[in-house]
Amino acid sequence: MRYYVILNGVNSLTIQGLAIRELPPISKPLMRNIREEIDGRNGDIITELGYSAYDKEVEIGLYGESYDINDIIAFFNGKGTIVFSDEDDKYYYYQILNQIDYEKLLKFKTASVVFHCQPFKYKLNEAPITLVEGNNTITNLGNTYAKPTITIVGSDTVTISLDGNQIFSIDMSTHGKIVLDTANLEAYDPDNGQLLNRIVTGDYDSFKINSGANTLNLSGTITTASITKYQRWL
């Protein structure tokens, strides 16, 4: 079996002469925390601050004589999404921050590429779920909570509740389309990118699609609505 990575939809197997020799181990990101010791109290108090981004190192190589080093440089230039062949149904968000030693690659036919990955991975080719007014069942098959993206076309006031608790109230009287990016705490117009946080009242931190089944309720004047990124893994 040949290893590969897919960067922003381009498979390394399509790059002439490029070989992926070794993939990083599948591992869980570290939880950032503050530890506090109090005199007279046993143990300590741990405050969790969220998961850290972490590095995944891939060993690459060259084979044959028909390769263009500029094609390989271009392939590893940038940031976006990455799929590793041993987790071919998931993707990570990554950046390449470290310099790649292409001179070593040309001389010894091997080098390392370090991908700085954000802590969560997402379902590849996840199908959006169409939402209707009233209750919707959203199932997160991942092993941690998800912070989804919701797109709504409608008018007047639209409210969003999760498992019986109202989270958002959106005044859509002046904007008929809105995207709620709950992971990045932003609301914007999908047509022009205009920020619409001012028309949204609610708590982004409280909006979490937990593992398993969740009940999402929409009320108001809604033409169409959908949800994506409702599954997430560590």
pLDDT digits (tens, 9 = 90+) for 113-141: 999 999 999 999 999 999 999 999 999 99
Residue 37: what pLDDT? 83
Q: Is the pLDDT of residue 1 over 90?
A: no
Q: Is the pLDDT of residue 143 over 80?
A: yes
The CATH architecture annotation of domain 129-228 reads Sandwich (2.60)
Lowest mean pLDDT among 40-54, 67-81, 90-104, 170-184: 40-54
Please give, one letter per residue, the 3-state secondary structure of the chain. CCECEEECCEEHHHCCCEEEEECCCCCCCCEEEEEECCCCCCCCEEEEEEECCEEEEEEEEECCCCCCHHHHHHHCCCEEEEEEHHHCCEEEEEECCCCCCHHHHHHHCEEEEEEEEEEEEEECCCCCEECCCEEEEEEECCCCCECCEEEEEEEEEEEEEECCEEEEEEECCCCCEEEEECCCCEEECCCCCCECHHHEEECHHHCCECCEEEEEEEEEEEEEEEEECCCCEC
pLDDT tens by residue, 22-75: 999 999 998 888 888 888 788 888 887 789 999 999 999 999 888 999 999 999
How big is the chain by its Cα radius of gyration, in Å? 22
Residue 79: what pLDDT? 95
Mean pLDDT (the chain, rounded):
94
Q: Is the pLDDT of residue 81 over 90?
A: yes
Band of residue 229 on the pLDDT scale cut at 50, 70, 90: very high
| Reported pTM | 0.88
CB neighbour list of residue 230: distance below 8 Å, 6 or more residues apart: 126, 129, 138, 139, 140, 146, 148, 209
Residue 118: what pLDDT? 97
The CATH architecture annotation of domain 5-123 reads Beta Barrel (2.40)
Q: Is the pLDDT of residue 146 over 80?
A: yes
Percentage of the chain beyond pLDDT 70 is 100
* Torsion angles phi and psi, residue 68, rounded to 5: -120, 115
Q: CATH 2.40.30.200: which residues of the chain?
A: 5-123
Band of residue 228 on the pLDDT scale cut at 50, 70, 90: very high
Q: CATH 2.60.120.860: which residues of the chain?
A: 129-228
